[in-house]
Chains A and B, each alone.
Chain A
């Protein structure tokens, strides 16, 4: 397991040239577009509030069988490529009506880079997870990014209905524990990331990279 530096630099460069993510908004079903609620270049927001109880900005109204359905934004961003010509026209299901250009923030870029470069251990089952107590103690003492683990180390304990199963590191080589994605004793869905490991020899480079992103990207 080695990090491909060339690819990473290339990706960073493309991201830098175009630090956006484009989310297409499609119709959920066939129907007629009755009204556009937004214009090209307008800022829209996704659901907000403590419990995401306030719905996002309305984008357009789709009608089928006299049922006016308001399609709302679920992302923050700017409206682009809006197909005004579809107004009062019949559209098929899953047809892209407009796009929302979402500017990536510094944290989003870092987490994206890390998710693709780190060796991520995913949850095998929907269960509660805790770190191996010894490792947890070490992390408490030394901090993240310092603790070294090897093949065969018991990393995590999966606990479900009081039944405990240890999870070992199966990858060859020595790694540094770099990220923890879960909270102890909280239910983690299966296949969600648990921890991210970085090969020891790549650590200085990765740290430099992150520092670079932090310096170059506006917060």
Chain B
């Protein structure tokens, strides 16, 4: 009896400490209450039992009251604190309490490929009446640990994400659903092989067409790290969880423009509010599907009721995803809505047939395609939308006919003809050879050119002059100390030399118009979807003005240009991320434009080119609406590549974060111009996260090539030629019209 009471008081003490950590020392005298409880707890055996019981009852009442008050006044930043608290439940607690049995894969504890990522094969039981059924599932998620340093707070390394991918593939082979648990402040931003950005892109690319039901549960969703295992059919979120594009501290540091020092506390709290990172906000924004309620001030390790609820919701969510692929779903859907937490009324087999897998993929694509579309600002008129839609339908029919019916027939016929001709040439050779040699002897051998040029491309004689070239002065190459480059006269540099140092090949940055005018055939660039524009969906303070200013300065509506163009007569669809507009960051409008462009390329069977002038990542002012552009665009890329398209990415200047970790990084062919800097996080973020400074050439294109991020380094002076030959040789008729 005494021991139990001792334990109960200990728990009260923990709760008091928890409230103190979240709400601060002064919240309704919690600091004082903690001291009083500690006094009793420390001198427990000095008091008689009856007195202790009385104390316990009073303390319990007081704590419950304070908990209620704390719950009512909870701010977004306090939610962030709850999520990071060592007393909060972690994935291992879920594995213990929600699943019936589990086997950890890829290591346990410190002996692990990556202790921040846990993969486990688990059994999940479902009670139907008196019967108990077991489901096999793959559980993959981040493990924050209760204060263990080696878990790095759930930051997955690149090889940790690779481990996750490996077990996803295994689950797909076995045909069992995957439950993802997201408890990460963000990916560990190091570039060691396989590379932070690259691996996230690979995971997204694979997840977009994985043929098993996938469910994710978000407690701490930190941007790219969360997305690496977050592209799923159903997204659950804990009531006291957060899902955000950047940590409030990071956002405050950017907003206050103090890259080094710590931003003030008030600004961090303001950012937490402005980023709209709570579960409720995310449900409103449509980035998650359902909220799982938690006890006041969040569930902790021993909230068994919460785990029970979580188990029920996980089974229900998986059922829902599976049933959506089945034909007889109405009745069971009705039954599903009437389900109670105690027991289920029926059993659903989670294995999918081939047809159902197709429906699953279609459902997933539709889900992400329609996500965040409401936030795009698009001037609409009824007539225009009708004409556009009808044009799209006729276009689609025409292209289907052209490529599916005509081209296929033509291809088969050509193949047959080729076969026939080569057969007959073998057959005729013994007969024709002697005749030929006699003929040659008499007439003299006709010399035929043996090698024929594949194609030729003219270098556009420059008609476009960069405004940078108008200054009459010289500049010093930044690598002059190393290579002894002489000074370069500016009109030469930005004119004839294409912004490249003729001595060492250093690439000076150029404005985006240069590419539009010098890479593509003259007057072939035709923009579309230009009216699509970034809006301010979160009502982020000051963002509307910033957008307005960017629009005024550049004359653009978003940071992404989408256009049709030609290179040496080869028609293609291209996008370009432009540095001038908010540092080429990606928001809702940019994502939507990208998807529409790549859909057009797919429809018209043309190659697709992403030219990256500069990208600074996902725009923080659009919160999670920006983050979900990563899975959305990657799905579109996967769809396009699977249908036989050729997708090429060319990087220039600086490319970092979200876009590189999704729709750019998932491209099969990526090239970079010399002097490009390429990576996941900048040097400052790496230093802050890992505590280790990185060498100055850490993000250089040479190192990116060594890590296998890109396929080659190109020179800007021959970019047009390189692209032309890439399109010709890597694409060719076989690829686009497969």
Contact = CB atoms under 8 A, between A and B. Distances in A.
A14 interface: no
B695 A51 contact: yes
B476 interface: yes
B693 A67 contact: no
A69 interface: yes
Interface in B342-373: none
B489 interface: yes
Contact of A65 (B474, B693, B695, B696): B474
Interface in A33-72: 50-51, 53, 64-67, 69
B695 A64 contact: no
Contacts of B487: 29, 64-65, 67, 69
A64 B473 CA distance: 8
Contact of B476 (A51, A53, A67): A67
A69 B476 CA distance: 7
A65 B475 CA distance: 9
Interface string B620-644: 0000000000000000000000000
A151 to B, nearest CB: 43
A56 to B, nearest CB: 11
**Category for how many chain B residues contact A:** 10 to 19
A66 B476 contact: no
A53 to B, nearest CB: 4
A66 B693 contact: no
B396 to A, nearest CB: 54
A29 B695 CA distance: 31
A29 B474 CA distance: 13
Nearest to B475: A67
A51 B474 contact: no
A143 to B, nearest CB: 35
Interface string B482-502: 000001010000000000000
A53 B472 contact: no
B695 A66 contact: no
Contacts of A53: 695-696
A64 B696 contact: no
Contacts of A50: 693, 695
Contact of B489 (A29, A51, A65, A69): A65
Q: Label chain B's interface by main secondary structure.
A: loop
B469 to A, nearest CB: 14
A66 B474 contact: yes
Nearest to B698: A51
A198 B732 CA distance: 70
Nearest to A28: B480
A51 B698 CA distance: 11
A53 B698 CA distance: 12
Contacts of A64: 474, 487
A8 B615 CA distance: 62
A66 B474 CA distance: 6
Contacts of A67: 473-476, 487
Interface string A105-145: 00000000000000000000000000000000000000000
Nearest to A68: B476
B280 to A, nearest CB: 46
B472 A66 contact: yes
Interface residues of A, number: 9
Contacts of B473: 65-67
A50 B692 CA distance: 11
Interface string A66-102: 1101000000000000000000000000000000000
A148 to B, nearest CB: 43
A171 B475 CA distance: 53
Nearest to A55: B481
B35 to A, nearest CB: 48
A64 B474 CA distance: 8
Interface string B452-482: 0000000000000000000111111000000
Nearest to A53: B696
Contacts of B474: 64-67
A74 B126 CA distance: 73
A49 to B, nearest CB: 8
Nearest to A66: B473
A51 B474 CA distance: 29
A67 B476 CA distance: 7
Contacts of B472: 66
Contacts of A66: 471-474
A13 B473 CA distance: 52
Interface string B316-339: 000000000000000000000000
Contacts of A69: 476, 487
B696 A51 contact: yes
Contacts of A29: 487
A64 B487 CA distance: 9
Contacts of B693: 50
B156 to A, nearest CB: 27
A69 B478 CA distance: 11
Interface string B685-726: 000000001011000000000000000000000000000000
Contacts of B471: 66
B19 to A, nearest CB: 45
Contacts of B475: 67
Interface in B75-105: none
Interface string B278-307: 000000000000000000000000000000
Nearest to B472: A66
A69 B696 CA distance: 22
B28 to A, nearest CB: 51
Nearest to A74: B481
B566 to A, nearest CB: 39
A69 B693 CA distance: 29
A148 B712 CA distance: 53
Nearest to A29: B487
A57 B693 CA distance: 22
Of B471, B472, B476, B489, most buried by chain A (CB within 10 Å of CB) is: B476
A139 B594 CA distance: 66
A51 B472 CA distance: 36
B482 to A, nearest CB: 11
Contacts of B489: 65
A133 B215 CA distance: 61
Nearest to B484: A28
A119 to B, nearest CB: 34
Given A65-B474, A67-B473, A69-B476, 15 more contacts: A29-B487, A50-B693, A50-B695, A51-B695, A51-B696, A53-B695, A53-B696, A64-B474, A65-B473, A66-B471, A66-B472, A66-B473, A66-B474, A67-B475, A67-B476
Interface pairs A-B: 4 shortest CB-CB:
A66-B473, A67-B474, A65-B474, A53-B696
Interface of B: 471-476, 487, 489, 693, 695-696
Interface of A: 29, 50-51, 53, 64-67, 69
24 contacts: A29-B487, A50-B693, A50-B695, A51-B695, A51-B696, A53-B695, A53-B696, A64-B474, A64-B487, A65-B473, A65-B474, A65-B487, A65-B489, A66-B471, A66-B472, A66-B473, A66-B474, A67-B473, A67-B474, A67-B475, A67-B476, A67-B487, A69-B476, A69-B487
